[in-house]
Amino acid sequence: MSEGLKRRDFLKVLGAGGAGVATAGCSTSEVERLIPYVIGNEEVLPGVPTWYTSTCRECPAGCGIHVETHSGRATKVEGNPEHPINRGNLCARGQSSVQGLYHPDRYRGPVSQEGAQALNPTWGTAERILADRIREEQAAGRGAGVVFLTQSYTGSMESLVNEWVAAVGGRRVVYDTWADQPRALDFSQADVLVSFGADFLETWGSPVEYAWQFAQMHSFREGRRGKFIWVAPHRPLTGLNADQWIAPRPGTEIVLARALAGQVDVATAAQETELPAEIIQHLVEEFRAGNGIAVGPGAAVAGANASELRDVINGLNAGRAGAAPAAPAQPQQITTLIEQMRAGQIGVLMIDAPNPVYTLPGGLGFAEAFQQVPTRVSFSPFPDDTASLATLNLPDHHFLEAWGDYTPRPGVVELIQPVMRPVFNTKQVGDVLLSVGRQLGLTVGGGATTYYDYLQTRWQGISGGGDGWRQALQRGGMFTPAGAETAAAIDALFGITGAAVAHAPAPAATPPATQFNAAAQTPPSSDAANLTPAVTSEPATQTQGGGTGQAITFEGDGDANLHLVVYPSYRFYDGRQANRPWLLELPDPVTKVPWSSWVEIHPATAEEMGIEQGDVLEVSSPFGRLETYAYVYPGVRRDTVAIQTGLGHTTFGRYTEGLGVNPNVLLGPGVDQRTGQLASYGVRVRVSRISGAPDQGGYNPGPGLFEQGVRVQHDREIAQAISVAELMALSTEGHPSIPGSETEMATLRGAGGFMPRSQTTDPAGGYPPPETNYGEYVPGNTRWAMVIDLQRCIGCSACVTACYAENNIPVVGPDEVKRGRELSWLRIERYWGVSQDNEEALGDHGTDDTRFLPMLCQQCGNAPCEPVCPVYAAYHTPDGLNGQVYNRCVGTRYCANNCPYKVRVFNWFTYKFDEPLNWQLNPDVAVREKGVMEKCTFCVQRIREKERGAAGELRAVRDGEVVPACVQTCPTEVFVFGNIADPTSRVAQAATSVRGYRALDIINVQPSIVYLKKVTLHEPARGGHHVEAGAEGAAAAH
Amino acid sequence: MATEIRSVFHPDVASYEQVNRDAMRLLTKPGPGYLALLGLSIALVGMAAVAFFYEVYYGIGYAGITNPSGWGTFITTFVFWVGIGHAGTLISAILFLFRAPWRQSIYRLAEAMTVFAVLTAALFPIIHIGRPWFFYWLLPLPSQRQIWPNFRSPLLWDVFAVTTYLTVSSVFFYIGLIPDIAAARDSTTVPWRKKVYTVLSLGWRGTDREWKNFTRAYLFLAALATPLVLSVHSVVSWDFAVSIVPGWHTTIFAPYFVAGAILSGVAMVVTIAVPIRKIFRLEAYLTDLHFDRMGKLLLLTSCIVGFAYSMEYFMAWYSAELFERDVFWDRVFGQYWWAGWSMIICNAVIPQLLWKRNIRLNLNAFFIISIFVNIGMWYERFVIIVPSLSHSYEPWKFLNYHMSYTEAAILLGSFGWFFMWFLLFLRFLPSLSIAEIKEILPPPFRAHGDHHGVHAGEHASVDEMPAGYRERQIETR
Amino acid sequence: MNNRSSVGVLGVFAHLDTATEAIRRLRHDGYRLTVYSPTPRHELEEALEPPESAVRIFTLMGAFTGSAAGAALAIWASLDWPLIVGGKEIVSLPAFSVIIFEVTILLGALSTVAGLFITSRLPKVGKEEALYHPSFSAGHFGVFAHVGTDRFDAVRTIMTESGSEEVLLDQA
């Protein structure tokens, strides 16, 4: 336990990673050149982390990261604060990259299929196999039959691969899922933001950066708050964060966009989109008033007219501050490639692309065609659907083990450096190409022997000499204001396609408060949902939308009456992260379903078809069928069903195999007429109920859909909201209590830190009595506290994964989760903003006022959990934390029973970390054994570390110096953390907001977390009321 | 012409010697039925032991308890057995202080039941914790770092209350046994029994000095045990009342729990006494009168408990307290309606039948009623613990509790454990209080040469006799 | 005569009134007696007029010691390593009152038992103080007079006259 076990695990890591120590030590060539970010020298002090700068490659966004390594082991990934893209923040996928690094199912080394059995050749042999095959093809004059199917590279890799393919005489085909989405937009200053299905908070473009921009644009600051309108047939996480949901008839999004652009008059648009004219009218007016920006199209609504829609949107943004046109997609020849594969014209197919067997539409039949290719080479480090069909696996490094550079957008050129010795016997693609090239007697890469040399030579140009290179590595790359000449030079050097237009600085337009009154009158609407008939099977009258910006037709059998939306997964992107235990256990931010797939269906439609939550449904299209569970969800049109991609892999390692379904099999071969982009939008499906929900009762839950938590707050005012109008009225009152005055601070300490000044403070006034000292028995001592702004929280759950990574929180698996035994210290609660009534939550307006609330230990000053512990395992630290001493706990669970927030979690078993996932464990945090209660302590290990450092420098800890993991990673900067006893601290200032309240304040546990109410444009739905009102509600409901 | 004078409580007992003979009859060689029961009990204990070690080895997760329902069957059963353990001390101590003579013949059984029930209950705090191998950390001992346990924790109050109660009730039990063990020693012919009884009786011979101090000591022990028995279940109830969980945080809990405890205890006494009376033919000692009075006691406590229930629901409604309301709504109409209703029906409704005297005296009916009350009292504790936890403040963590197989096994095992001890007691220690029954028998007088008979008027010291004893003289005129 | 020896005369009585009569007469003649009975009878006490039992002193002392010990344990242990929990005082007497009460009862009861054992010389080991007969635990009463062999006849006559069914002599 705590000390003992921690030390032991720490040594185990050291022992297991002899190589790791050598790495850090260190003799091997590549590692000598690693440049630690913080500590100058190469020496590694046990227990003292070394930080490396690199770039996250979990998705095309290319966020800058710092990697914490202990004794040569990467333990945690955090955002690089100086990075222009993500400002030190990171999403859940980025946080989980260490689990990709240490994934137990990675290839241990190259694998070659000789007939039936698989051999494990050395790298030399494996490369020779490939070289020989290529030579054969060349000899046979089928050089063109050597095809390299790659993701869309940039920078060094782009040029190397092109050079190599040319030298071989082969062909390169680029296939990437959503790499072509614009990553250079800036809508942080927009007043009205309209998204045409672009889930920019989850996967679209550059999610972490866009999330921050969205928070800036959407949060309430000095009387200003933007409005966000979501246009799509279905509401994913991004849509749930919208103030208004407009769901036109599927396929007619483009008509609405053109109405905005004035190309179509409102009446026609209304008739086409089946939306009420006034909605469109109001939208057009709103968009033109102030600074309106449109984004899109998202992958979910990218149909045959996707490129046209994108052009219309770019037209809308033209001249608008902060908007940049998207890069036109390079037409994909994947479809033609597949035909050639079928025709047997392809001899060698090398794949370094996102798992095409899984991600490509079932209608294309890639898998079957793939079998026709005699030599199938996969560079994937994981045995995914594609790699398991390959005849030769040359596993790539994980990006934390590899060298490289990447250019997510103009003006940003990033460096990727290895932070540790490779975990397994893998080799990065660049090196493989170079050595295969040598074996073929070609001179590629200017005679560079390793990819690292190739990279560094190229970089001499920009970084300019050894020290520049070193600085670039420390910084994480070269960041220049886009538009500058250097940027242009760099872009040229790296052959960046679609150079961006200059970003003009956004004018800080501050519209008058009246704008809100106007906004407040808009009906909160999911209008389409309640206006459209449940069945619209008649095909659209337009011709297949070609060039005329017409709506798209949905193909499907006659009686297939429901439009299908296949939307990207926030947790698994296109499925590439679906093997990460953390992400599998993390409930989906919208449906709160972990470890499973589902099909979202509107309550009315479900009722019509006699479907209930959790029923097993069959969804079939002309191209494929699947069976999964029903999720009854008012955030989808009545004539539409939505399925999330990501799960349903045939092979992808022990954690995800046989989990969920792959909706891509339902999609057809439809493509964008103009660009040849694959169109995922435009299929109608037949949905039929197969059986009821599997029995979830009893101790053994068995299979089935499990939705965590509840949809309504049951009149508990956990997540509160306040309308803009009311807020304006309040803020004109001025600030009755500014912390700082002595009397005020006395009360503050008396209250275990502070009294939030808001409507929820106790009527009794200065409770508790000043002479009592709840939680603070060293007067004037530090009191750690947190402020959480619900208006900024988008529910993305990056903080949850960061907490898992920092605090060695084990994953318990689906069955245990169904018993409510997940161990997450921090959870995001998702409430439809309604009080008691599930019917209301399932109504058409159920999703209009959704509240996301991060719930973690409130570190109560008057903590109910502490006095009930018989062995002092739970006690109060002098700086106001609810300490939890693991090795003193005997596991009576009384503290958890008495915790009103239910944030204490119990180790029901001794959970195991599959080797080598245990290499990720943070040596600063104890690994808990069975029978022990655990909980959030504001990352006390980080607090103590900073305190030690400050003590060493004979100074006090600075405000903002201590950063818990959740605070560190939050993309929208929801959290403010610090010492509330210091009136000048940011947290003390933030706590005095008029929006401030404390959850369940009525039971007087004096929590040290202040929530700031969500700000709604309309009157908030019930649930934001006071308890008295709620009680009446309860009485009525009873 | 002298009339036979018999005790109004035990008219069929003719002489002191008969008491000894009848009491010793139970200490003879057991029959097959007895052995079968004993074997069954031991088998249940074995099953529970297996389940327990399974949980220790793999983790407490094999119990159905979850987050938020951190307590379930184990604590329910703990409270249940502690409650059972109340009737014994009530009958032996409180009724002793009240000089209620009908206690004499029943109290030994009740007291044995108490000791074994508390012995059973004491296991559950150890079984239910996450790391049972560290249970001794709950004892008032300092850790290596000189940290003592937290005396502000209700669980530590439990430790003190339960251990004190176990000690005192066992001592009380043993002290009362000494003269009877001596009697067994004097009458038994089995050598090993004689040895054992000689040691256990501490050489008791019933001299005037011994009796003098014995009666005083017994009186003081009773005086100490009386507040203790009332305190124990109050302390147990504070486990809940001191917390802030809606449905637990109630001032009514202490009296409510004590009344419930007596109800369940008396019911268990009846459950045990009826078959024993039949099997061992003790009709002379466990007479209708005893069951009549226990029936009244049961009825009284049942009414108190019923009142407590109604008060709980009334306060939940009247306080307009949201969280409280939801919990109690759940108990009646929510997902725990079945538990809530079986509690109310078994404890507050069915016992009302005992208003009718002929039901009180119909042992079969009474036996069945007592079984219902036992079930109902287990459900009462379940209803208090589980719905409150699974539906407390935080809506996000509403989750129902399901009992697991290991929990069921350990629950059954607890009954096996209890009956194992009780059956052994029946065969090895006098289960009738020989000496005290004699207190309410007419002593042998030689007057008028007639053994066992005397004219009441001639009896010297009628007037000094306490009420309960004089009663028989008067009634038997 | 030697009090510690068990020399004397034992009268076995089948009836309570005969036993009491023997007791009265023997006490009148100043003999020191040990009386056996199967159950405590007030008639015997009246005849013997014994002094008040000393057990109550033990009970009182034990209870007081218990209160003090309980309070001392709870308070000192809390102060020995002061940890604040739930904002409660280090010395929270309302909480400690439970501890104090329980320890009071515990020590009170245990010292009562100790008092019983001490005052009535239990457990009995070694030489018996007076002659005993198994029927005393069943239905008979016994009166043992501690007298020297010289007075045996006198005592025996009193016993038989009072109605003793059997008179045993112990020459020791």
- Within 8 A of B235 by CB-CB distance, chain C residues are 98, 102
**Tens digit of each residue's pLDDT (9 = 90 or more) over C19-36:** 999 999 999 988 989 999
- Within 8 A of A718 by CB-CB distance, chain B residues are 394-396
- Within 8 A of C74 by CB-CB distance, chain A residues are none
C112 to chain B: closest CA residue: B217
Chain B nearest C-alpha distance from C106 (Å) = 6
Alpha helices in B5-142 (DSSP H): 16-25, 32-58, 73-89, 95-97, 107-121, 123-128
Residue C137 covered by a domain: yes
Task: Tell whether the model's pLDDT for residue A563 goes beyond 90.
Answer: yes
A69 three-class SS: strand
Which tokens in the block code for residue A295? Answer: 């984004």
HEC string for A748-803: HHHCCCCCCCCCCCCCCCCCCCCCCCCCCCCCCCCCEEEEEECCCCCCCCHHHHHH
B58/A901 Cβ within 8 A = no
Phi, psi of A722 (to 5 degrees): -140, 140
Task: Tell whether the model's pLDDT for residue B35 goes beyond 60.
Answer: yes
Q: Is the peptide bond before B68 cis (omega within 30 degrees of 0)?
A: yes
Comparing A405-414, A743-752, A773-782, C158-167, the range with the smallest average pLDDT is: A743-752
CATH number of residue C137's parent domain: 3.30.70
Q: Select from A972, A800, A976, A965 the least CA-distant residue to A210.
A: A972
Contact (CB, 8 A) for B312 and B325: no
Alpha helices in A65-224 (DSSP H): 92-95, 97-101, 123-139, 155-168, 207-218
From residue A207, how far is each of A738, A764, A802 by CA, in Å? 37, 46, 17
Residue C107 covered by a domain: yes
Average pLDDT, chain A: 81
- What mean pLDDT comes out for the span B4-28? 85
B404/A699 Cβ within 8 A = yes
Whether C15 and C32 share a structural domain: yes
Q: What is the dihedral of CA B315, B320, B322, B323, to 10 degrees?
A: -20
> How many independent structural domains does chain C possess?
2
Which tokens in the block code for residue A582? Answer: 């953390």
Comparing A28-42, A224-238, B325-339, the range with the smallest average pLDDT is: A28-42
Higher pLDDT, B156 or A29: B156
What number of CA atoms fall less than 13 Å from residue A653's CA on the CB side? 25
> Which sequence spans correspond to the domains of chain B?
39-424
Q: Is B56 on the interface with A (CB under 8 A)?
A: no
**Tens digit of each residue's pLDDT (9 = 90 or more) over A660-717:** 999 999 998 888 877 777 888 889 999 999 988 887 767 777 788 999 998 888 888 8
- Within 8 A of B200 by CB-CB distance, chain C residues are none
Task: Tell whether the model's pLDDT for residue A609 goes beyond 90.
Answer: yes
From residue A485, how far is each of A410, A411, A480, A481, A502 by CA, in Å? 11, 10, 9, 9, 12
DSSP state of A694: P
Report ipTM for this prediction: 0.91
pLDDT of residue A680: 86
- Select from B185, B220, B243 the residue whose CB has the most chain C CBs within 10 Å, as the one to mutate to test that interface: B220
A872/B392 Cβ within 8 A = no
Higher pLDDT, B56 or A40: B56
pLDDT of residue A130: 94
- What mean pLDDT comes out for the span A942-949? 93
Contacts of B312 (CB under 8 A, 6+ apart): B250, B252, B256, B328
Q: Is the peptide bond before A26 cis (omega within 30 degrees of 0)?
A: yes
- Residues A658-672, buried b or exposed e (16+ Cβ, 10 A)? ebbbbbbbbbbebbb
Q: Is B325 on the interface with A (CB under 8 A)?
A: yes
Position A844, amino acid:
D
- Select from C78, C85, C91 the residue whose CB has the most chain A CBs within 10 Å, as the one to mutate to test that interface: C85
B130/A889 Cβ within 8 A = yes
Contact (CB, 8 A) for A873 and B97: no
Chain C nearest C-alpha distance from A664 (Å) = 54
Comparing A689-693, A724-728, A928-932, A985-989, the range with the smallest average pLDDT is: A724-728
Taking one residue from B and the other from C, the number of pairs with CB-CB distance under 8 angstroms is 218
**Tens digit of each residue's pLDDT (9 = 90 or more) over A611-636:** 999 999 999 999 999 999 999 999 99
- Residues A822-859, buried b or exposed e (16+ Cβ, 10 A)? bbbbbbbbbbbbbbbbeebbbbbbbbbbbbbbbbbbbb
pLDDT of residue A411: 81
Contacts of C64 (CB under 8 A, 6+ apart): none
Q: Which of B148, B175, B186 shows the shortest C-beta gap to C81?
A: B148
- What mean pLDDT comes out for the span B139-158? 90
Query: Alpha-carbon distance A127 to A112, whole Å?
Result: 10
Query: Alpha-carbon distance B322 to A1003, whole Å?
Result: 12
**Tens digit of each residue's pLDDT (9 = 90 or more) over A285-329:** 888 887 889 998 898 888 888 888 888 888 888 776 555 555 555
Alpha helices in A955-1026 (DSSP H): 965-969, 986-991
Q: Is A862 on the interface with C (CB under 8 A)?
A: yes
Q: Select from A913, A910, A918 the least CA-distant residue to A891.
A: A910
A773 to chain C: closest CA residue: C87
C77/B216 Cβ within 8 A = no
Strand bridging mode A192-196 / A227-231: parallel
Contact (CB, 8 A) for A551 and A682: no
Cα distance from N-terminal residue to C-terminal residue, chain A: 47
Higher pLDDT, A560 or A956: A956
Phi, psi of A180 (to 5 degrees): -90, 5
Residue C132 covered by a domain: yes
Contacts of C52 (CB under 8 A, 6+ apart): none
HEC string for A529-547: HHHCCCCCCCCCCCCCCCC
Task: Tell whether the model's pLDDT for residue A333 goes beyond 90.
Answer: no
- Within 8 A of A775 by CB-CB distance, chain C residues are 84, 87
Whether C134 and C115 share a structural domain: no
B166 three-class SS: helix
B129/A870 Cβ within 8 A = no
* Burial (CB count within 10 angstroms: exposed 0-12, middle 13-18, buried 19+), residue C96: buried
Q: Which of residues 723-752 of A touch C (CB under 8 A)?
A: 752
pLDDT of residue B4: 63
- What mean pLDDT comes out for the span A210-225? 84
Whether C59 and C115 share a structural domain: yes
**Tens digit of each residue's pLDDT (9 = 90 or more) over B382-418:** 999 999 999 899 999 998 899 999 999 999 999 999 9
Q: Which chains touch A (3 or more CB pairs under 8 A)?
A: B, C
Query: Alpha-carbon distance C168 to C134, whole Å?
Result: 13
Chain A nearest C-alpha distance from C79 (Å) = 14
Q: Is A882 on the interface with C (CB under 8 A)?
A: no
C83 to chain A: closest CA residue: A875
Alpha helices in A241-293 (DSSP H): 253-261, 266-273, 277-288
Higher pLDDT, A8 or B365: B365
Which CATH code is given to the segment(s) B39-424?
1.20.1630.10
Whether C45 and C86 share a structural domain: no
DSSP state of B60: G
Please report the DSSP string for chain C in residue order.
Answer: --TTS--EEEEEESSHHHHHHHHHHHHHTT-EEEEE-SS--HHHHHHH-PPPPSHHHHHHHHHHHHHHHHHHHHHHHHHHS----TT--SS-HHHHHHHHHHHHHHHHHHHHHHHHHHHTTPSP-SS-SS---GGGGTT-EEEEEE--GGGHHHHHHHHHHHT-SEEEEE--
Task: Tell whether the model's pLDDT for residue A269 goes beyond 70.
Answer: yes
pLDDT of residue A556: 80
C40/B211 Cβ within 8 A = yes
pLDDT of residue A181: 85
- Within 8 A of C81 by CB-CB distance, chain B residues are 145-148
List the domain range (segments joined by +) for residue C78. 55-120
C134/B187 Cβ within 8 A = yes
pLDDT of residue A324: 58
Q: For the CA atoms of chain B, what is the radius of gyration?
A: 24
pLDDT of residue C91: 87
Taking one residue from A and the other from B, the number of pairs with CB-CB distance under 8 angstroms is 177
DSSP state of A446: G
Which tokens in the block code for residue A706? Answer: 């499990």
From residue B288, how far is each of B10, B264, B376, B439 by CA, in Å? 10, 20, 25, 20
Chain B nearest C-alpha distance from A905 (Å) = 7
Which band of pLDDT confidence, cut at 50, 70 and 90, is reported for residue A3?
A: very low
- What mean pLDDT comes out for the span A269-296? 89
pLDDT of residue A670: 83
Cβ count near B367 (within 10 Å): 18
Which band of pLDDT confidence, cut at 50, 70 and 90, is reported for residue A8?
A: very low
B208/C50 Cβ within 8 A = yes
Q: Is A900 on the interface with B (CB under 8 A)?
A: yes
- What mean pLDDT comes out for the span A977-1004? 85
**Tens digit of each residue's pLDDT (9 = 90 or more) over A155-173:** 889 999 999 999 999 999 9
Which band of pLDDT confidence, cut at 50, 70 and 90, is reported for residue B458?
A: very low
Alpha helices in B401-450 (DSSP H): 405-428, 434-439
B322/A1030 Cβ within 8 A = yes
B441 to chain C: closest CA residue: C39
Q: What percent of chain B has pLDDT over 90?
A: 70
pLDDT of residue A1038: 31
0.95 surpassed by pTM? no
A909/B58 Cβ within 8 A = yes
A863 to chain B: closest CA residue: B244
Task: Tell whether the model's pLDDT for residue A520 goes beyond 70.
Answer: no
Phi, psi of A625 (to 5 degrees): -145, 160
Chain A nearest C-alpha distance from C80 (Å) = 13
B16/C139 Cβ within 8 A = yes
Q: Which of B135, B245, B402 shows the shortest C-beta gap to A897?
A: B245
Q: Select from A594, A539, A602, A482 the least CA-distant residue to A233.
A: A602
Higher pLDDT, A1021 or B178: B178
Q: Is A827 on the interface with B (CB under 8 A)?
A: yes
pLDDT of residue C152: 87
Q: What percent of chain A has pLDDT over 70?
A: 80
- Select from C52, C56, C67, C105 the residue whose CB has the most chain B CBs within 10 Å, as the one to mutate to test that interface: C105
pLDDT of residue A737: 37
Task: Tell whether the model's pLDDT for residue A863 goes beyond 60.
Answer: yes
- What mean pLDDT comes out for the span A199-205? 93
- What mean pLDDT comes out for the span A971-999? 87
- Select from C84, C89, C92 the residue whose CB has the most chain A CBs within 10 Å, as the one to mutate to test that interface: C84
B208/C92 Cβ within 8 A = no
pLDDT of residue A288: 85
- Select from A774, A871, A879 the residue whose CB has the most chain C CBs within 10 Å, as the one to mutate to test that interface: A774
Helices first, then strands: H and E counts in chain B? 18, 0
A714/B395 Cβ within 8 A = yes
Contact (CB, 8 A) for A794 and A201: yes
- What mean pLDDT comes out for the span B262-266? 93
Which band of pLDDT confidence, cut at 50, 70 and 90, is reported for residue A15?
A: very low
Which band of pLDDT confidence, cut at 50, 70 and 90, is reported for residue A879?
A: confident
Position A502, amino acid:
A
pLDDT of residue A219: 84
Enclosing H/E stretch for B324: helix B322-332
Query: Alpha-carbon distance A963 to A945, whole Å?
Result: 11
A1018 three-class SS: coil
A875/C87 Cβ within 8 A = no
- Select from B329, B396, B405, B410 the residue whose CB has the most chain A CBs within 10 Å, as the one to mutate to test that interface: B396
Query: Alpha-carbon distance B289 to A429, whole Å?
Result: 95
HEC string for A369-429: HHHCCCEEEECCCCCCCCHHHCCEECCCCCCCCCCEEEEEECCEEEEECCCCCCCCCCCCH
Chain C nearest C-alpha distance from B85 (Å) = 17
Query: Alpha-carbon distance A685 to A473, whole Å?
Result: 50
Which tokens in the block code for residue A766? Answer: 């200065």
Position B87, amino acid:
A
Task: Tell whether the model's pLDDT for residue A1023 goes beyond 50.
Answer: no
Which tokens in the block code for residue A804? Answer: 């898992």
**Tens digit of each residue's pLDDT (9 = 90 or more) over B319-367:** 888 899 889 988 889 888 999 999 999 999 999 999 999 999 999 999 9
**Tens digit of each residue's pLDDT (9 = 90 or more) over A714-769:** 888 889 888 877 777 766 544 433 333 333 332 333 333 333 333 333 333 333 33
pLDDT of residue A6: 42
C53/B213 Cβ within 8 A = yes
Position A80, amino acid:
N
